[in-house]
Amino acid sequence: MKKRTFVVLGLFVMLLVSCGSDSSSGSETTQDTESQPVTEVVETYPLNEFGQPDVPKEVVASWPAKFCSLAIGMSRDEVRAIMGEPTSSFSDSSANQDEWDGYEISVSAFYDINDKVQQLDDSTGTSNLPCESSRKG
């Protein structure tokens, strides 16, 4: 009788422990998903006193020519290999984009659900690109 009670008690404790860990990990997942920012600043560049990426001028100066070499249909990885890490990235159910923004240059790549470029855009219209400022697929 004692052995049977011990086994039942042990199974009960194991059940409580496994249920407790499942419910806490489930709530952590929910909290993590809810707390994820929609727009994030990529921490490749140090932040300035305003909390914005402080990109060196020579890096920003290279963006227009690099941006003009991008094409509709490229993958996000291909774009980042050419442009470098974006200064911000935005993704939700309605939009998916990377942006390179510094000094007077602001260009964006918009991706489809497969992370393929569907639009390239000069976000401010003042970047003096040596190519079309907006290209759509």
pLDDT tens string, the chain, 137 residues long: the values are 554 544 444 555 454 445 544 444 444 444 444 444 444 444 567 777 777 788 889 999 999 999 999 999 999 999 999 999 999 998 877 779 999 998 888 999 999 989 999 999 987 676 677 787 678 76
Q: Could you tell me if 123 and 103 lie in one domain?
A: yes
Q: Could you tell me if 76 and 118 lie in one domain?
A: yes
Q: Could you tell me if 63 and 115 lie in one domain?
A: yes
d(CA 130, CA 137): 19
Give the count of domains, the chain.
Answer: 2
Which DSSP category does 75 fall into? B
Q: Which residues pair with 114 in a beta bridge?
A: none
CA angle 111, 115, 119 (to 5 degrees): 20
Task: Please report, for the domain that includes residue 58, its CATH number.
Answer: 3.30.1450
Q: How many CB atoms lie within 10 A of CB 135?
A: 18
Q: Could you tell me if 49 and 11 lie in one domain?
A: no
